[in-house]
């Protein structure tokens, strides 16, 4: 569907993708109705033809010389290569065809060339990274010196801002190759084999002779027409027929969006369509922001966020106390699935060692069952991570919309590595879904014209948000002498609070003062503040709100006369007749007279000033414990019915 998108002032075009599903189809020539199973089979036949040709083309050019030629952007005559991968491969003369006896049209070959060309172009960055690491190989691969780090960052394209974890990961890959083969690799194509080609159809490489997509008469519907084979090995063009497939558009696709040809892929016997569309959105600005949302990362409290305002005089003030996105339950389930996956992998590896090369081994069937279960658990973990990323990103964007913010500043933790904090903590930190959350946050914020900018995370939790002095960290606010990490206190200005609440204030203030240093990546469009400037950082402080002065309460008139008759605390009506049994209306007063034994949580660690974790016993939250709180450590004032106060205000007899 080709149509020019009309943009108004202050708008820009944004291309997004939504997920659709092809449930049925109709063969146009014969009018035959195709079920979901038959449609999936025909799409699978076409995908097999495409993946076979793409794999052949990729295997023939998976080398450093061909990848460099494609990445150079010029053909042998010096002309610039087209942006479309299939056109660039044809300009270079890299062609491919189906197996003998199989007949496909030129558009199917285009899809195969587009798939292989995109993969070869993506390999260029990995090749340059590996070449830079090999050229500056350190004396001790496990620990580089400062000079060796500077050298490898200079040798790698964009290495100045590349996370150190990426370089360390590539170093470990080369070290494993040396251990296995006893020599250094020459390039990345020795480290990695040609990648596997997915079974999918990139219809964007086609034209109207292979596929078309048009909106239907009713809203929220579209019609996809494409040619599919009628057999796995089509022998002539007669074995290709036109199929019409209705598509239900998700509600996230605007009515004025321009639809593009989708990508079809098979998933559990169903045909999924990744629908690309373009629609107008407000432009995001790099500078000129006055209200910003600062977002800090946490472990159990995944996100902590709050808004801050930059005033005309240069001062910054927090607009709220901030909020938290707690995902402890989801993260606990994620860790349970991770441990289950590790157990299944260990068991499968043990079976594989026992089976060795014997295909008739008695454990072969059990090993296959374990492999299926591993795939199932991996799918559950992937779906859980996707759901968590969507929920967290939606929450952050909603916070920005509610505060009227035009920018979201997120601390950049790409270079953070989980080391030296224990096995469990290292694993939890390394498997966080921060990258997915930031990507989805950019996706959702772009619809509202809100910019998402990453800022350096250095010292955001270490320094005070009001005076930039080093904070002291304690375990809890009522235990100032016990060292910890959760509660922060400033000995200079007196600020104290949760360390995550102080961190988002520092992030928002740093982003607002450094917004003129924001840069935009040309390839991805992501905005970031690369480094912290000391002169700007000095002004990145939150101005505390002025304390409200109480009104003058000095005595200026005589004391008002009070009656000697006290006001009754409750109504003076007789209690209703109590029926025999536990049912019936509650008698007067707030004390429950039918409760003989208090809940356990009502008298254990329940004091007015008790807020920290008890030191006796093991901390075992059990949810609502007999109506005495949401768990045993929800420490609050003892309930009124625990020690009922006698009524001393009654001065009247019974009315009965």
Q: Residue 455's beta-bridge partner residues?
A: 411
Between vectors from CA 93 to CA 92 and to CA 97, what angle results, nearest 5°?
135
Nearest-10 Cα torsion for 253, 255, 260, 265? 40
Contact 220, 251 (CB under 8 A): yes
522 contacts: CB under 8 Å, gap ≥ 6: none
Half-sphere CA count of 609, side-chain side, radius 13 A: 3
Cα-based distances in Å from 584 to 275, 570, 575, 592: 61, 20, 12, 13
pLDDT value at residue 330: 83
Give per-residue pLDDT as tens, 116-145: 999 999 999 999 999 999 999 999 998 899
Question: In a 3-state reduction of DSSP, which class is residue 160?
Answer: helix
Burial class (CB in 10 A: 0-12, 13-18, 19+), 205: buried
The two tokens of residue 435 are 């990258």
Phi first, then psi, for residue 150 (nearest 5°) are: -65, -40
pLDDT value at residue 634: 33
The parts of the chain modelled with pLDDT lower than 50 are 1-2, 421, 425, 428-429, 584, 586-593, 598-614, 619-656
The two tokens of residue 370 are 């374990």
Q: Cα–Cα distance between 397 and 613 in angstroms, integer?
A: 34
Element (H, E) at 534: helix 534-537
Contact 473, 486 (CB under 8 A): yes
Phi first, then psi, for residue 408 (nearest 5°) are: -120, 120
Nearest-10 Cα torsion for 637, 643, 649, 654? 140
Long-range contacts of 174-179 (CB under 8 A, 24+ apart): 174/130, 174/133, 174/134, 174/137, 174/141, 175/141
Q: Residue 304's beta-bridge partner residues?
A: 296, 324
Q: Residue 247's beta-bridge partner residues?
A: 222
Q: Cα–Cα distance between 437 and 454 in angstroms, integer?
A: 12
Q: Give the start-end residues of each E strand in 469-601.
A: 472-476, 479-483, 487-489, 496-498, 518-520, 527-529
Nearest-10 Cα torsion for 292, 293, 294, 299? -170
> pTM for the complete prediction?
0.75
Q: Cα–Cα distance between 195 and 189 in angstroms, integer?
A: 11
Nearest CA to 21 among 275, 244, 386?
275
Q: Look up residue 347 and give its DSSP letter.
A: H
Other Cβ atoms closer than 10 A to 57: 24
pLDDT value at residue 559: 84
What are the structural domains, with CATH classification, of the chain?
A: 11-137+184-282 (no CATH), 291-325+389-537 (3.30.420.140)
Contact 480, 489 (CB under 8 A): yes
Nearest CA to 352 among 86, 344, 30, 584?
344
Nearest-10 Cα torsion for 234, 235, 241, 243? 0
Half-sphere CA count of 274, side-chain side, radius 13 A: 13
Long-range contacts of 493-499 (CB under 8 A, 24+ apart): 493/464, 493/466, 493/467, 493/469, 493/544, 495/464, 495/465, 495/466, 495/467, 495/544, 498/304, 499/461, 499/471, 499/473
Nearest CA to 322 among 291, 295, 290, 302?
295
Q: Cα–Cα distance between 503 and 399 in angstroms, integer?
A: 17
């Amino acid at each position: 569907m080709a149509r020019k998108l009309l943009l108004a002032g202050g708008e820009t075009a944004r291309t997004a993708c939504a997920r659709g599903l092809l449930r049925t189809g109709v063969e146009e020539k014969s009018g035959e109705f195709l079920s979901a199973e038959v449609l999936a089979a025909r799409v699978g036949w076409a995908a097999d033809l495409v993946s076979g040709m793409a794999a052949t083309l990729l295997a023939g050019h998976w080398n450093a010389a061909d990848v460099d030629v494609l990445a150079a952007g010029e053909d042998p005559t010096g002309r610039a290569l087209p942006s479309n991968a299939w056109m660039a491969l044809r300009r270079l003369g890299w062609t491919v065809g189906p197996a003998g006896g199989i007949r496909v049209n030129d558009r199917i070959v285009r899809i195969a060339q587009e798939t292989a060309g995109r993969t070869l172009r993506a390999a260029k960055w990995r090749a340059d990274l590996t070449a830079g690491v090999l050229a500056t190989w350190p004396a001790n691969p496990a620990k580089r010196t400062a000079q060796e780090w500077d050298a490898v960052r200079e040798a790698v394209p964009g290495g100045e801002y590349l996370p150190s974890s990426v370089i360390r990961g590539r170093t470990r890959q080369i070290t494993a190759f040396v251990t296995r083969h006893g020599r250094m690799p020459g390039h990345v194509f020795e480290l990695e084999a040609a990648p596997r080609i997915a079974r999918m159809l990139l219809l964007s490489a086609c034209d109207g002779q292979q596929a078309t997509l048009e909106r239907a008469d009713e809203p929220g519907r579209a019609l996809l027409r494409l040619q599919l084979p009628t057999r796995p090995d089509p022998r002539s063009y007669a074995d290709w027929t036109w199929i019409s497939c209705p598509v239900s558009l998700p509600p996230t696709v605007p009515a004025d969006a321009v639809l593009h040809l989708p990508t079809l892929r098979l998933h559990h016997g169903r045909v999924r369509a990744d629908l690309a569309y373009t629609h107008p959105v407000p432009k995001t600005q790099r500078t000129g922001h006055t209200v910003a949302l600062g977002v800090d990362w946490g472990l159990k409290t995944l996100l902590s966020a709050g808004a801050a305002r930059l005033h005309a005089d240069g001062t910054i003030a927090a607009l709220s106390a901030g909020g938290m996105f707690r995902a402890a339950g989801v993260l606990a389930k994620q860790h349970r699935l991770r441990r289950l996956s590790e157990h299944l992998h260990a068991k499968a590896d043990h079976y594989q060692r026992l089976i060795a090369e014997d295909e008739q081994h008695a454990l072969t069937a059990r090993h296959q069952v374990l492999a299926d279960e591993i795939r199932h658990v991996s799918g559950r973990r992937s779906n859980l991570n996707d759901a968590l990323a969507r929920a967290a990103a939606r929450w952050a964007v909603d916070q920005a919309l509610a505060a009227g913010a035009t920018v979201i500043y997120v601390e950049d933790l790409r270079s953070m590595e989980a080391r030296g904090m224990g096995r469990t903590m290292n694993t939890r930190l390394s498997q966080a879904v921060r990258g997915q959350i930031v990507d989805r946050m950019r996706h959702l914020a772009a619809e509202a014209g809100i910019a998402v900018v990453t800022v350096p995370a250095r010292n955001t939790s270490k320094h005070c948000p009001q005076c930039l002095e080093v904070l002291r960290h304690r375990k809890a606010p009522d235990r100032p002498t016990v060292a910890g990490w959760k509660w922060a206190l400033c000995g200079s200005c007196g600020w104290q609070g949760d360390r995550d609440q102080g961190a988002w204030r520092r992030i928002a203030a740093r982003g607002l003062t450094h917004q003129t240093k924001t840069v935009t990546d040309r390839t991805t469009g992501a905005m970031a503040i690369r480094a912290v400037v000391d002169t700007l950082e000095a002004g990145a402080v939150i101005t505390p709100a002025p304390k409200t002065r109480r009104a003058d309460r000095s005595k200026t008139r005589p004391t008002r006369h009070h009656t000697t008759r006290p006001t009754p605390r409750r109504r003076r009506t007789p209690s209703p007749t109590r029926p025999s049994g536990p049912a019936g209306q509650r008698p007067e007063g707030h004390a429950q007279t039918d409760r003989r034994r208090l809940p356990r949580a009502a008298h254990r660690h329940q004091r007015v000033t008790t807020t920290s974790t008890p030191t006796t016993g093991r901390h075992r939250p059990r949810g609502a414990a007999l109506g005495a709180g949401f768990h045993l450590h929800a420490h609050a004032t003892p309930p009124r019915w625990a020690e009922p106060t006698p009524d001393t205000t009654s001065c009247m007899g019974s009315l009965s």
